[in-house]
Amino acid sequence: MIDSAAPIARFWFEFRQSQIACVALLIIVLIAALALLSPWIAPQNPYDLATLVLMDARRPPGHVGAGGYVYWLGTDAQGRDLLSAILYGLRISVQIGLAAGAVAFVVGATLGTTAAFLGGRVEMLIMRFIDLQLSFPAILLALVLSALLGQGKVQIIIALVTAQYAYFARTAHGAASAERAKEYVEAALSTPLPSHKVIFRHILPNCLPPLIVVATVQVANSIALEATLSFLGLGLPVTEPSLGTLIANGFQYMLSGRYWISIYPGVALIVLIVAINLVGDQIRDQLNPRLRR
Partner 1 sequence: MLGFLIQRLLQAVVVMMVISALVFIGVFAVGNPIDVLISPDVTQQIRLDTIAAYGFDKPLWEQYLAFLERLVHGNFGRSFVFNMPVLQLILSRLPATLELTIAAVAGATLIGIPLGMYAGYRPDSPITKAIMGITILGFSVPTFWIGLVLIMTFAVWLGWLPAGGRGDTVMVLGIEWSFLTLNGLSHLFLPALNLSLFKLAMMIRLARAGTREVMLTDTIKFARASGQSDGTILRRHVLRQISIPIVTVFGLEFGSTLAFAVVTETIFSWPGLGKLIIDSIQSLDRPVMVAYLMLIAFLFIIINFLVDIAYAALDPRLRARRS
- Footprint of partner 1 on this chain (CB under 8 A)? 132, 135-137, 139-140, 143-145, 147-148, 220, 224, 227-228, 231-234, 247, 251, 254-255, 257, 259, 262-263, 266, 269-270, 273-274, 277-278, 281
Distances (CA, A) of 194 to 94, 198, 200, 201: 37, 7, 10, 11
Phi, psi values for residue 63, rounded to 5°: -65, 140
- β-sheet bridge partners, residue 71: 63
CA 273 to each of CA 25, 28, 87, 197, 249: distance values in angstroms, whole numbers, following the listed order? 12, 9, 15, 36, 21
For partner 1, give the closer residue by CB, 188 or 271: 271
Q: How far is the CB of 176 from partner 1 (least distance, A)?
A: 25
Residues 6+ apart with CB under 8 A from 207: 109, 113, 171, 172, 175, 176, 179
Which of residues 5 and 255 has its CB atom nearest to partner 1 in the complex? 255
Contact present, 43 and 81 (Cβ < 8 Å): yes
Nearer of residues 28 and 185 to partner 1, judged by Cβ? 28
- Nearest distance in Å: CB 220, partner 1: 7
Q: Which of 102, 115, 99, 289 is nearest to 204 (CA)?
A: 115
Name the residue nearer to partner 1 (CB basis): 232 or 287.
232
Cβ atoms within 10 A of the Cβ of 128, count?
Answer: 10
In this complex, which beta carbon is closest to partner 1, that of residue 113 or of residue 286? Answer: 286
Beta carbons within 8 Å of 152's beta carbon, 6+ residues apart: 236, 237
> Which of 29/270 has CB closer to partner 1?
270
Nearest distance from C-beta of residue 24 to partner 1, angstroms? 11
Contacts of 288 (CB under 8 A, 6+ apart): none
Report d(CA 189, CA 178) in Å as an integer: 16
CB atoms within 10 A of CB 51: 16
Using the minimum distance from each CB to partner 1, give the nearer residue, 7 or 137. Answer: 137
| Shortest Å distance, C-beta 266 to partner 1 | 5
Q: How far is the CB of 27 from partner 1 (least distance, A)?
A: 13
Least separation in angstroms between CB 254 and partner 1: 6
Q: How far is the CB of 95 from partner 1 (least distance, A)?
A: 18
